[in-house]
Amino acid sequence: MNAKNLKIDKDHSGRRIDNYLFNIYKSLPKSKIYSMIRKGEIRVNSGRIKPTYKLQLHDEIRIPPYLINFKNDESDLKIPPSRIEEFKTSIIDQNDDYVIVNKDPELSVHSGTNNQFGLIDIARASFPSLEIDLCHRIDKSTSGCLLISKNKKFLRHFHHQLKTNKVKKVYEAILI
């Protein structure tokens, strides 16, 4: 059986190899991915790399043959269609790079112990062909605008804007 090669596009260039693989193989333990990198089973441009290696445009990642047909069994969440419709009506603005959503209070951003699904799961179900990620978070009990990226390039751009203080999160409470 032959290995599989993945080619890096502009959306993933600049990402660390370990984070890229965590995204592709969500149900594979991180320790297994680190082990495969350390043993040289995963290579970039036919060479060994470290987990901190930053991917470049047109890099080729060699995936071992036993991972080609790996079932990435992310639990198939059954999100009610009504929740997806609520999400779509809460969209304030969107373009090719982002979605701005008005988050309701008591809706978690992430799934967890007491939550089957969160806003991010609903967003991913609403845009199944895109790489949906949160740009920032707000507490479960907080309502307000939430920025969701539709691609990694915009996510990195927004995080850079936060780091360089060109964007600031503002918290304003209305007390009655």
> Tokens 């850079």 identify what position?
160
- The pLDDT score that the predictor gives to residue 69 is 62
**Would the pTM of this model clear 0.85, i.e. be above it?**
no
Distance CA 19, CA 38 (A): 15
pLDDT tens digits, 63-91: 988 876 665 555 456 788 999 999 999 99
pLDDT tens digits, 124-139: 999 998 889 999 888 8
- The pLDDT score that the predictor gives to residue 44 is 96
Q: Is 64 helix (H, G, I), strand (E, B) or coil?
A: coil
Q: Which residues on adjacent β-strands are paired with residue 16?
A: 54
Q: Which residues on adjacent β-strands are paired with residue 149?
A: 98, 133
Output the average pLDDT for the chain: 86
Distance CA 132, CA 108 (A): 16
Q: Which among 109, 131, 113 is positioned nearest to 122, based on CA atoms?
A: 109
pLDDT tens digits, 26-39: 778 889 999 999 99
- The pLDDT score that the predictor gives to residue 46 is 93
Cβ neighbours of residue 46 closer than 8 Å, sequence gap 6 or more: 60, 62
- The pLDDT score that the predictor gives to residue 65 is 85
C-alpha separations of 51 from 17, 18, 41, 62, 157 in Å: 6, 5, 12, 14, 22
- The pLDDT score that the predictor gives to residue 40 is 94
Q: What angle, rounded to 10 degrees, do the helices at 17-24 and 30-39 form?
A: 130
Known catalytic residue at 97: no
Q: What is the CA radius of gyration of the chain?
A: 19
- The pLDDT score that the predictor gives to residue 176 is 45
Query: Where would I find the H helices in 47-137?
Result: 81-89, 119-126
* Phi, psi angle pair for 21, to nearest 5°: -70, -35
Annotated catalytic residue: which of 93, 97, 104, 139? 139
User: CB burial class (10 A; 0-12, 13-18, 19+) of residue 167?
Assistant: middle
